[in-house]
Amino acid sequence: MLKLKKLNKTLQPYLSNVWIRGAVVLVAMAVSDFIWARYISNISDGNALLAASWGSVVIALGAFITLSYVDDKRMIIPACIGAFLGTYFAV
């Protein structure tokens, strides 16, 4: 029983970190996908300055998201959920 408590105490910060990281990836991907939709809308409208601004934000968020799931493949799941939510709310 003591060994199990020690193992649980060792794993607790890691599990919390994974959930927090997953939530951050989900939100970042939702925001990124929302911004991506705005980017495409501004391109369609011919607004170059806004499209360029949104494009740079998409790249920055995309880099963060990519680095998150390169280290931990489980982060692909919250990234996909975030992409769905971002597009859904943008449209």
**Per-residue pLDDT tens digits for 21-42:** 888 889 988 998 999 898 999 9
Residue closest to 75 by CA, chosen among 21, 32, 37: 21
Q: What are the φ/ψ torsions at residue 46 (nearest 5 degrees)? A: 80, 20
**Per-residue pLDDT tens digits for 64-84:** 888 877 778 888 899 899 999
Taking the C-alpha atoms of residue 12 and residue 14, their distance in angstroms, rounded to an integer, is 5
pLDDT score at 48: 92
* Interacting residues of 26 by C-beta distance below 8 A, sequence separation 6+: 78, 79, 81, 82, 85
